[in-house]
Structure formats: C-alpha cells, structure tokens
C-alpha cells in the first residue's frame, strides 16, 4: 500500500477496471479506486447485482460511511428495519453503525450501483439475526 507521500493521481477507464465476484454469487463488481490503486481513505466500485440476488447479509460498518449511487435497476436498501427503494438517479447514505442490507429488486433486471466506502478498509460486521 502506498503511503501519503507515495500516493499518485490515478486514472482508469471503467470498462478496463479489474473485476471480481460478489459474495454468494450475487453478481460482480468493477474495482475502480482502492488501496491497490494507492487510495488510503476511499474505496469506489461498481456492483452489478443479479436480479435474483436477494437482500444480502444484514451487516454494519463500525467506522465506515457507505454511499450508494444507483445507475440502473432498483436497489432495495433496508436500514434499521426501514425499507427504501432507490431507482436510477437516487443516492443513499448509510452512517457507521447502522444495520443494513441491500439487493436488487426481483423482476427489474440487474441493478448497477456505484458504491463508495470511506474510510476504506475491512469493516464489514455481520449481524446475527435471531432464529
């Protein structure tokens, strides 16, 4: 990882960004800006969430702010039990500590979302739901 003095401007064409699979085969992601590109405080990626993905794991980030920018499809976000449907042009903000989940709304096609984490880093805490 680059230190502040080693960080350099970084530019990438979205279509040429490295890709990876989302957890539980829910879709795929394009990694735009993160520690591997020299960024220390922000992680930016585009998630392509399958139409049949389901809501994903209920989780929270202890220290990280989370932003969703919906480009295509409909993103269902549940924050502290309150459901929100975000369509193209909508932006959602999740503060640190808020229990949330997000997924593509069934029957509407793939949902494409820019996701931003700041500060960057591993900060994904799964919430165990009572059975």
CATH number at residue 52: 2.60.120.10
In a domain, 74, yes or no: yes
In a domain, 10, yes or no: no
In a domain, 54, yes or no: yes
pLDDT of 44-93, one tens digit each? 999 999 997 888 889 999 999 999 999 999 999 999 999 999 999 999 99
In a domain, 3, yes or no: no
pTM for this predicted structure: 0.88
Domain coverage including residue 93: 18-122
Identify the three-state secondary structure at position 25. Answer: helix
Average pLDDT over the chain reads 90
Q: Is 7 left (phi over 0), alpha (psi -120 to 50) or beta?
A: beta
Q: Which two tokens stand for residue 11?
A: 């530019």
Indicate the number of domains in the chain: 1
In a domain, 111, yes or no: yes
The CA-CA-CA angle for residues 43, 67, 128, to 5°, reads: 90
In a domain, 80, yes or no: yes
- Give the distance between the most distant pair of CA atoms in the chain: 49
pLDDT of 5-38, one tens digit each? 577 899 999 999 999 999 888 999 999 999 989 9
What pLDDT is recorded for position 31? 96
Residue 100 predicted with pLDDT over 90: yes
In a domain, 33, yes or no: yes
């Amino acid at each position: 990882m680059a230190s502040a003095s080693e960080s350099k401007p970084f530019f990438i064409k979205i279509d040429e960004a490295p890709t990876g699979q989302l957890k539980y085969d829910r879709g795929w992601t394009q990694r735009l800006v993160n520690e591997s590109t020299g960024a220390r405080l922000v992680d930016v990626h585009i998630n392509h969430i399958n139409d049949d993905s389901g809501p994903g794991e209920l989780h929270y980030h202890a220290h990280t702010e989370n932003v969703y920018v919906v480009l295509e499809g409909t993103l269902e976000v549940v924050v502290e039990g309150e459901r929100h449907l975000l369509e193209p042009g909508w932006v959602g903000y999740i503060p640190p500590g808020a229990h949330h989940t997000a997924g593509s709304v069934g029957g509407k096609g793939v949902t494409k979302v820019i996701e931003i984490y700041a500060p960057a880093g591993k900060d994904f805490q799964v919430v165990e739901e009572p059975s």
